[in-house]
Amino acid sequence: MSLYQALQLSPLVLKQHLKHAKNYKETAYIYGVLTLRSTLLIAFAILFIAGLNYYFDEANSSVAVSLFCILLGIRFVPYGYNIKHSLGAMTFSFILMAASSYINSLKQPLLYFFINLIFLLLILILTADEPIMGNAGIYVFSYLFISNTPVNGHLMHLRLLELGLGLIICGTIMVAKHRQKDPQRQVQTLFQNFTLKDAKCRWQVRLALGVSLGLFLGQLWHLPRVVWLGYACMSVLLPNSDEIRGRVWLRIGGVICGSLLFGLIYKQLPSALTLLIGPMAGFLIGYTATYFLTTVLNCFGGLMLATTIYGVDHSILFRIQNNFIGAVFAAAFCLIFNLVHRFIANRHKTSLNP
């Protein structure tokens, strides 16, 4: 396996190779690949995000971060249908992200709930035809991050230009990597085959409805940094139902550990060095292959941003509070959703076999 091929692998796959390393030389090589991979990703992230923020304002940093995530994902995972329709779907998804951020700025929770439900479901149908490939997490995160940092006026114009540039970049990568894949499959097939009898379609509805409802309740309760509640709902509802119970506790435990660890490090470091906390956490994520540790380290970037608004102690409190509410709500919602589905399915069977 060449160095280039090894750098394309995820930390999970590299850790599996590490377990089967035959000698010290192979072990050292894999650790070297993990280190180089993390270094290159962090360097690229800093350059990419800082460059976009410079031209399109830091108020639109949510767009820069989202485009970075989408760019990394689209290199490996297509949408599952022909390239012409895939480019149209990407364009439509970006338009929905921009529109949702404007609608959220109107401060109408009920309207925003219905918009979230429709927009998220459309994005999931268009981009996450194969849930196991991870597109759902990337695009739902991007949608939530962009829509929950609304801007107006000139900043909105810059946001549209930034999304347009991102569309050109990500679209170009999509064409270069996936233009020959699934040439006969068209996007309308996804909608023609959409039915709640299908497990994938139920999962898409459950994820869109659960996240939208969680955000709606958070806005009604006037929770600060309500998007964290949305991320928690998304994170818990992403996998299949049988994984959710354990994922709830891993999410809550990871957020508590990550938030408290952030507070300890932030208060011990000189103020001039606190800006390094986010990049260092991002670097360490390159070594992690578990949901718990990723959750711990993901707290650092979010808390660094929130600290500039709420201060470190309140940010930690809000992070733990919103994630606890979001994770517990998502588990309860999933239970109710599954019970309702079974009830309707049983009623349908009874009506067919009186």
CA distance 88 to 92: 6
The whole-number pLDDT of residue 304 equals: 94
CA distance 91 to 86: 9
**Residue-wise pLDDT tens digits, 281-305:** 999 998 888 999 999 999 999 999 9
* Residues contacting residue 349 through CB under 8 Å, at least 6 positions apart: none
Cβ atoms within 10 Å, residue 301: 17
The pTM of the full predicted model, rounded to 2 decimals, is 0.94
Q: How many CA atoms lie within 13 A of 99 on its CB side?
A: 14
191, two tokens: 């909608």
| Confidence band of 1 (pLDDT split at 50, 70, 90) | low
**Rg of the chain over CA atoms, in angstroms?**
21
**Residue-wise pLDDT tens digits, 17-72:** 888 788 888 899 889 999 999 999 999 999 999 999 999 999 999 999 999 999 99
**Residue-wise pLDDT tens digits, 145-156:** 999 999 999 999
Residue 156 in contact with residue 102, Cβ under 8 Å? Answer: yes
CA distance 139 to 93: 9
The whole-number pLDDT of residue 22 equals: 81
Angle between helices 109-127 and 199-220 (to 10 degrees): 150
The whole-number pLDDT of residue 9 equals: 82
Cβ atoms within 10 Å, residue 75: 15
Residue 286 in contact with residue 41, Cβ under 8 Å? Answer: yes
**Residue-wise pLDDT tens digits, 301-334:** 999 999 999 999 999 999 999 999 999 999 999 9
pLDDT at 128 over 90: yes
CA distance 25 to 96: 49
> Measured between alpha carbons, how far apart are the two ends of the chain, in Å?
61
* Residues contacting residue 193 through CB under 8 Å, at least 6 positions apart: none
Cα angle value 109/210/260 (rounded, 5°): 90
CB-based burial, 312-330: b 16+ in 10 Å, e otherwise: beebbebbbbbbbbbbbbb
